[in-house]
Amino acid sequence: MSNTWNARSGRRAGATSVTAMSTTQTYHIAVIPGDGIGKEIIPVAQAALDKAAEGAAHFEYESFDLGAERYLRDGAILPDEDLERIKRTDAILLGAIGDPRIKAGILERGLLLKLRFALDQYVNLRPSKLYKGVTSPLADPGDIDFVVVREGTEGLYCGAGGAIRRDTPAEVATEVSLNTAYGVERVVRYAFELAMKRRKHVTLVHKKNVLVNAGDMWQRIVDRVGEEYPEVSHDYQHIDAATIFLVSDPSRFDVILTDNLFGDILTDEAGAVVGGVGYSASGCINASNEYPSMFEPIHGSAPDIAGKGIANPTAAILSTAMLLRHLGFEEPAVRIERAVEADIEELGSTQRSTQQVGQDILARL
Ligand code: IPM
Ligand code: MN
């Protein structure tokens, strides 16, 4: 069987196995369990992915030893060889990155953000849904089902800026927000396309009353692209107001479109509103398919509960549904989502181990 790679499309050529009934394509998945509970939840997520895709797709996993342990052991964060190998895969499944022993920023910038930038994952897709059986901290949450489309490669995350006279009273530190018409337009288009498949409403969230340069450009691009989608309505909220509506009237949102930093903050709030980030999955999508996209739970490495076998793998399992959908397997993706929904409704409030939750969800697949 040929093992050649098509680096452009991220697709492997000739890796098709023919069974009696169907043709099953093989996909090569980079697995980065990472730190803390990432190592515990990722194997459970892989099991769910395999089971849901049975007969439709076959997954070959390549595990990457990246994260805090590796860094503490040999100082490596994301070696070039690893990045090159990751680039040739079809998708990435990531657990969590972060460790209190390591200074803030080293792994975040050197590993997680480096992947998002190097693989041009310009759409950071973060759905929020209040599942039946989950208690929202809101007294009257209503039906919550929205998706945040967070720009993933620009804004304040670019790393543009610097410091001079460090550690002196005259220190100067700058972080510059970079916004390009190219980068904004492609994510705006993604949001409108997504809205077409949903309830057809886009809310741009920014701070255009203060960030008059970037905010105005975002708004003009939304207005212009929006004309191509007459069925999709769009409105605008300032970020500060959006944080209020997210708790006072979250069911008003369908697709929230925003920049990198606003999206980061808003999706944590969204996670809390739907009962905790334990149920929130995300995708860092390279929608042009030039590079692999990356799927990860929104929660972090949770060092306080790591190693105890009690971390909830639900968000990681939901991330595999997003991975499947991205690769074109809608039906297995829906199957995972239904299994998770049923599991939460029936057993969501019980205390279960990581393994048990995994088994319960797998049994429904
Ligand atoms: C997230 C995280 C990351 C981000 C950090 C860890 C770099 O908070 O995925 O939301 O800010 O994007
Ligand atoms: Mn975040």
**What DSSP line would sit under 299-356, residue for residue?**
S---TTTTTTT----HHHHHHHHHHHHHTT-HHHHHHHHHHHHHHHHHHTTS---HHH
Instruction: Please report the pLDDT score of residue 278 as a whole number.
Output: 85
Instruction: Give phi and psi for 29, each to the nearest 5.
Output: -115, 125
Question: Residue 223 in contact with residue 242, Cβ under 8 Å?
Answer: no
Instruction: Please name which ligand lies nearest the alpha carbon of 284.
Output: 1
- What is the 361 CA–ligand 2 centroid distance (Å)? 26
Average pLDDT over residues 23-45: 96
Mean pLDDT across the stretch 327-342?
A: 98
Residue-wise pLDDT tens digits, 38-48: 999 999 999 99
Q: Which of 264, 266, 299, 301 to mutate to test the pocket of ligand 1 (most atoms within 8 A of CB)?
A: 264
For residue 359 the two structure tokens come to 């088994």
Residue 289 has pLDDT above 70, yes or no: yes
Q: Which of 205, 301, 215 is nearest to 244 (CA)?
A: 205
pLDDT range class, residue 21, cuts 50, 70, 90: low
Look over the chain and give the mean of its residue pLDDT values, rounded to a whole number: 94
User: In this structure, which ligand is nearest to the CA of 150?
Assistant: 1
pLDDT of amino acid 145: 98
User: Residue 15's pLDDT is what?
Assistant: 45
Task: Flag whether pLDDT at 3 surpasses 50.
Answer: no
SS3 content of the chain, % helix, strand, coil (to 5): 40, 25, 35
pLDDT tops 60 at residue 19 = no
Among 216, 235, 240, 249, which one carries the catalytic annotation? 240
Nearest residue (CA) to ligand 1, atom 12: 264
Nearest CA to ligand 1 atom 8: 264
Phi, psi of 154 (to 5 degrees): -130, -150
Whole-number pLDDT of residue 171: 98
Confidence class for position 277, pLDDT limits 50, 70, 90: confident
Q: How far does residue 264's CA lie from ligand 1's centre (Å)? A: 6
Q: Which residues are near ligand 2, the ion (C-beta closer than 5 Å)?
A: 264
**Is the pLDDT score of 56 beyond 80?**
yes
Q: Which atom of ligand 1 is nearest to the CA of 97?
A: 6
- Based on the residue annotation, tell me whether 254 is a catalytic residue of this protein: no
Active site residue 249: no
Return the pLDDT at 23: 75
Overall average pLDDT of the 341-358 stretch? 96
d(C-alpha 73, C-alpha 79), whole Å: 14
Q: Under a CB-based contact definition with an 8 Å cutoff, are residues 98 and 108 in contact? A: yes
Active site residue 51: no
pLDDT at 223: 98
* Amino acid sitting at position 81: E
Residues 152-165, mean pLDDT to the nearest whole number = 97
Distance of CA 265 from the midpoint of ligand 2 (Å):
6
Residues 6+ apart with CB under 8 A from 215: 206, 207, 208, 209
pLDDT of 22: 60
Minimum CA distance residue for ligand 1 atom 4: 264
Residue 20 reports pLDDT greater than 70: no
Residue 260 Cα: closest atom of ligand 1: 12
167-221 pLDDT, tens digit each: 999 999 999 999 999 999 999 999 999 999 999 999 999 999 999 999 999 999 9
Give the tens place of pLDDT for each residue, 197-212.
Answer: 999 999 999 999 999 9
Residue nearest ligand 1's atom 2 by CA: 264
Give the distance (Å) from ligand 2 centre to CA of residue 262. 10
Residue 292 pLDDT > 50: yes
Instruction: Give nearest CA residue, ligand 1 atom 5.
Output: 108
pLDDT tens digits, 84-101: 999 999 999 999 999 999
Q: Is 240 a catalytic residue?
A: yes
Among this protein's residues, is 268 annotated catalytic? Answer: yes
Give the burial class of 53: count Cβ atoms within 10 A of its Cβ; 0-12 exposed, 13-18 middle, 19 or more buried. buried
With pLDDT > 70 as the criterion, what percentage of the chain qualifies?
A: 94
Give ligand 1 pocket residues (Cβ under 6 A). Answer: 108, 112-113, 264
Q: Does 4 have pLDDT greater than 80? A: no
Average pLDDT over residues 6-30: 61
Decide if pLDDT at 153 tops 90: yes
Predicted local confidence at residue 2, as pLDDT: 37
